[in-house]
Chain A
Amino acid sequence: MIYHPVLIVGGGLAGLRAAIAVHDAGLDCAVISRVHPVRSHSVAAQGGINAALGNAEGARDDTWEKHAYDTIKGSDFLADQDAVERMTREAPARVYEMEHWGCPFSRLADGRIAQRPFGGAGYPRTCYAADKTGHALLHTMWEQCVKRGIRTYQEFLVLSLTVREGRALGLIALNILTGEIVPLAADRILFATGGAGRIFGRSTNALINTGSGLAIAYQAEVPLKDMEFIQFHPTALFGTNILMTEGCRGEGGYLVNAEGNRFMEKYASKAMELAPRDIVARSIQTEINEGRGFGKGGAGGGYIHLDLRHLGAKKIKERLPGIRDICLNFAGIDPIDTPIPVQPGQHYTMGGIDTDVTGAAPVEGLYAAGECACVSVHGANRLGGNSLLDTMVFGKLAGDAMAESLAGNANRTEPAPEARTLLEEDLRKTRDRAHRLMAGDGTEDPSAIRDRLKDVMIEKVGIFRDRGTLTEALAEVRELKERVAHIKVRSQARVFNLDLVTNVELEGMLEVAEVIALGALQREESRGSHYRLDFTSRNDADWLKHTLAHRTPEGPQLDYSPVAITHYQPVERKY
């Protein structure tokens, strides 16, 4: 049986940073990833990573405390303030570390790391590598893993997590290349599996972001926190919903409606295009809904223009080359002389596996970091540039915590006999499930269920919500859950069975969708990304609290936990 003291699920920035921490503490660990690590979704991050370095002109007196406050205010005061302070205090160290490891950050004239303005931030604080910051960081992180010879199991799709008596013991995974379903035992397990974007239509996320880690943890009765908070990015390219970085606006781009107006003046007269994402996304959607967008009544919703033309060819080519390439290749337009058609698109999962600041989940031995975790540092709305930061700060903290908790106790080379027995039991169950999916007499078409789920979630659990649409969404998701029991995987192949890979996750996607819809229905207020047309104000008296969803046979059971407040009392957000 494969055994490592520490197993890390996910080869994006959080997972790889954790692996480096564990390795550097002298412990054996391995990374399991459904794709080669450099194919992970971290690679697609564009605009940058926040750290109060004070490098940029006009940012000399920036501090980590100011970064913390901007983050807390941006979160609409739902973030845990102790966790935010931890993250922003450690931000410069993580950015400098990546620089020392070779990350090709863009530079100021004096050779220091360049920083650009981003939404909701009081200073130009976002360090960047042109508009391919995620690519620069992930490749650098992978290079460090290669240097250390960290073991990876690539193209392994984790199917289940084994938990007994409140303790995580291992995983069952599909080796995609051989079709084998195998157990992997560990004393500490980190989930760093990313978000659940692909539950929604109009998502900017990679196709692999199905939320499978969230579903697997939840199915093992690990609680999910604040799942109703889904970020819609203001500017996704119309048609394909490929991300158009906030850096476009950070560099000075305008948002313009069909009447030719910079409409953000109405919604955030000071911050304009650089208000936080929830506010800008709602503003764009309002313009479209009220008939001031383009493409009215057409398929795919309307759009407005992201206009970069006044930045000039030189700046666009230097600072936003990736955006220009995407526009040329995917929309057939050149932003140097044509405005970019954009609409809001699902972008980020603020909620996730409930963890503390060290990444520890309420199950012994289980940790989570990055987008799949909810520490919580993003609360009800994440600021741009804070997700890359989250991955590295909490990836490292989780790696350190796992190593420390095993210190002096990591000389095992194989799993404990009782863990082996329990994993073998779960292996049989998981193999049976895969066998049933492939050999059963199901009649439901899984792709029809998946397509319907995406439509329901974007139409009824989207930017604007109310009791009626959320109730309908919940009922529809539950109906799809009934139907998913009758799907059949049609391909019997063992080697690279994509039919199995894409459909084995469907049930879990529906469970996560149910948690999102129920959390949104119950939360009768508007906070950050969660906007209720029937409860339009924030209600701190009743709702300044985290949602926790527990799985039961009857569906999710919700309860609530307090928000950690250190220094900053909630006030109304104005930009």
Chain B
Amino acid sequence: MPEDTFALRIFRFDPESGKDPGYQDFQVPRGGRSGGLTVLEALFYVLEHQDPGLAFRYSCREAICGSCAMYISGEWKLACQTQVGHALEGNVVTVSALPHLPVIKDLVVDMEPFWRNYEKVKPYLINDGPPPEKERLQSPEDRKGIQEMADCILCAACHSACPSGIANEDYLGPAALTKAYRFVADSRDTAREERLTLVGNEQGIFRCHTIFNCVTSCPKGINQTYSIQQMKKLVMKRNLGLQL
């Protein structure tokens, strides 16, 4: 094996071929155009030079659009944000589709279960009052309280990594629950009660067993478990008749 290449080991599935899914190795040069080489660039190299049938999602290539979450050398990562040099195990980088979502082809998964959960939590601001002429005021501290949750790029890495979700596909999962808390914690939202009812059940926050896989897997460094625990506290307080 030449020293200036590495093996990109891709888990392949072609729904049209009738063949069993399995790993396939491609030899890819280490040096990209920009010196470094991301896993996404390596996938493009394979697409253009070795296998035009390879399928994967991409868009921004700068870790903000959320298209290219994958399972890379045993970790949940964005392909665009992962340097090959950091993902090598020996001389191999192993890439497969996000676990626990149906695979459509190669690295492309069916995101429908993920979006279904997202829509269940009413992922939009609710405010009963008429909109003021100008902005609704929000203190910098209140704004800071929703920063992390609002930074979510909806890549589904946490959803895919959550063992509670694996065991129960009706579980809302960390991404949808983080979205729910993004509005629960927003000083401009007036639907806190409704939202807590929506998530305060066994398919919501109480199915989280604080395993923290979501936190480990998040490419944006978001602490989903924090959001879930905050809502558990609020629901408990509410159920005890305490002031929220």
Contacts and interface: CB of A to CB of B under 8 A. Distances in A.
A144 interface: yes
A135 interface: yes
A206 B59 contact: yes
B188 A135 contact: no
B125 A496 contact: no
A330 interface: yes
B2 interface: no
Interface string A312-335: 000000000010011001100000
B16 A494 contact: yes
A208 B59 contact: yes
Interface residues of A, number: 64
A496 B150 contact: no
Contact of A326 (B63, B119, B137, B186): B63
B35 interface: yes
B53 interface: yes
Nearest to B151: A132
B64 A43 contact: yes
Contacts of A44: 60, 62, 64-65
Interface string A463-502: 0000000000000000000000000011101111111001
A172 interface: no
Contact of A39 (B53, B65, B104, B131): B65
Interface in A96-116: 96, 99-102, 104-113
A493 B14 contact: yes
Give the dominant DSSP class at B's interface: loop
Contacts of A111: 137-140
B108 interface: yes
A207 B58 contact: yes
Contacts of B67: 35-36, 39
B138 A107 contact: yes
B124 interface: yes
Contacts, number: 165
A168 interface: no
Interface string B34-58: 1110000000000111001111111
B111 interface: yes
A143 interface: yes
Given A177-B104, A495-B16, A496-B105, A242 B140 contact: no
B128 interface: no
A239 interface: yes
A80 B60 CA distance: 31
Contacts of B131: 96, 100
A102 B188 contact: yes
B56 to A, nearest CB: 7
B55 A206 contact: no
Nearest to B34: A239
A40 B154 CA distance: 13
B62 A330 contact: yes
Interface of B: 14-16, 33-36, 47-49, 52-67, 81, 104-106, 108, 111, 118-119, 122-125, 127, 131-140, 143, 146-147, 150-151, 153-154, 183, 186, 188-189
Given A40-B65, A143-B124, A447-B49, 10 more contacts: A38-B66, A99-B136, A100-B125, A101-B124, A104-B143, A107-B138, A207-B59, A489-B52, A493-B55, A495-B15
